[in-house]
Structure 1
Amino acid sequence: MTQLSSKAGVGAPSSLGFQAKVMGSFLRDFDARTALRAIFCGVLVSAAAAEAIRFGVVERPLSLYANYEEVDPVVARVGDDVLRVSDAMAHAMYTGVDAETAADVPKLIATGTVEDAVDHLALAQMARDAGIADALEIRAAVALAERQILAEAFLDTIARDAASEDKIVARYEAEKATLERDSLMRLSKIVVETEDEAKALAARLPRANFATLAKQKSLHRQTGENGGAMEERQIAELGPELTEALATLPIGGVTEPVQTEEGWTLVKLESRRTLRLAPLSERREAIAKALREEAIAAAMDKSRDEFPTQVRSAEAIIEAAPDFPAGMIAAARIKN
């Protein structure tokens, strides 16, 4: 194995974690094919993650460009393949190394992470030489890893753009404006059958007591028994006909007769209080979450519209390939 520098650096610890996992797989199953398959699938995920970093799908820390002259320099050569900085970073993140350490190549070398990545790359070459890359389940795993990484990276980008600071502030201001237009009102009402009855009652006000008339005349039994008193409501909850009638009504005022689903209605505005929105600092995370969820839902809807799907029936699939086995198929052939 030829490298640009000594393997993992002088005095670097050996990659015992990775080697222990490999040996554990052999000892548990006594099956070289299963062990190599597990290793190769892990390599696939690391390689796909590295490509996502390399092509800009995943952001790279800016400090990396400041520390190295090349955009993505080679860390090691392994046979015909090369291990680049992005590969080492992806491997580090995949194995649970924190982001700060993953962006520091000297640390990756000193901690044996690069050595782990080199071992993975060498084993991947062996797997390809053994024909494992041609196995149907391995090709399926490659395709799955690519789909997952690309889909998640795409949705992460969508969500990040949707929850930018400018958009959070804009949504907050919109919420604030809505609350300023809205208010929480305490109302009373009288419901009668005809418009003439409603006009006759309106003519008796303000000389007559509204609550007394509600108890005597209102067809709405629940509020009528309480002098017409309703639960506190936001104006937006009342429907367009009452919203318009109450928009400019002063405290203590009574609307003209309004036809609603219940009948002809007189409504008295007992009190009004303006709703107050929590400060932006308290609303920021909830707004950001809502924006992200809305953007992801919209992206999913758009994907379904742009890429119509037709799923074949199980019967049709079986008929097309009657000898196609169920479950994991086409076991890899390992050359002796």
Structure 2
Amino acid sequence: MTFRTKLFPALAIVAAVGFAQAPAAQDSPDIDTVLATVNGTDITLGHMIALRASLPAQYGQLPPEILFNGILDQLIQQTLLMQSFEGEVSKRSALVLENERRAILATEVIEKVMQGALTDADVQAAYEERYANAGQETEYKAAHILVETEETARDLIAQLDGGADFATLARENSTGPSGPNGGDLGWFGPGVMVESFFNAVASLEPGQVSEPVQTQFGWHVIKLNETRLTETPPLEEVRAEIEETLRQEKFDDHVDTLTGQATIERSDASGIAPETINNLDLLEN
């Protein structure tokens, strides 16, 4: 069990009994402000903030003074235990420390790369490439009845031709998740549905019912209810999405550059069973 795991019940006890008082507020505390010293080792406000950032969201429900004292007490306890450590660090702990350092430093690089400044010109150019110069696209609002056999599908079509209500038949017969909702699939465009299903929908006129359509899910009877043309969204509506995409692209480019400059040699792992990564006993050797 890690220190981080043990922190949770420790804070729960602090919340229950509320021992210790928060230190008096300083005029301008910063991350180097020392809150405690344990055998010469300083515990700073920065240490406390970093630990607070790693806690689950529910700890935000505690009163600030309780959380403050609990975190400080936890760091004091951890420091005492660390100072009492004797012998060599276990192989398992050493590997965990290496991985955590690797992950933390990698995260810092990711944040610097992805949070780099994006100019309005960058965003405008991406917007025009994605939206402004794109043609309008047809979207479809349809419903379907999913059954296991073509024979059942054709029987349902015959009932519809005889005046039966589509939504009622869907609720009574469809095996798909949309059945209880009368088979309604809402609005969708290209690339959302299975190709054969979408092609059948696109060939219909509003109000028309398809012939049986087979997919890997079974046989479908499809009714097209409406169509519409998509509208180009205003820039401000999609700005956040575009900025996120541009940052992701910057990150991908950065990783590609690092990869191209690096010497990476992968060992032959064909003789290692993939399940080996689940064998925690190896860390104890």
TM range (shorter): 0.3 to 0.5
Normalization by structure 1: what TM-score?
0.41
Q: 1 or 2, which has the higher strand percentage?
A: 2
Indicate the structure (1 or 2) with the bigger Cα radius of gyration.
Answer: 1
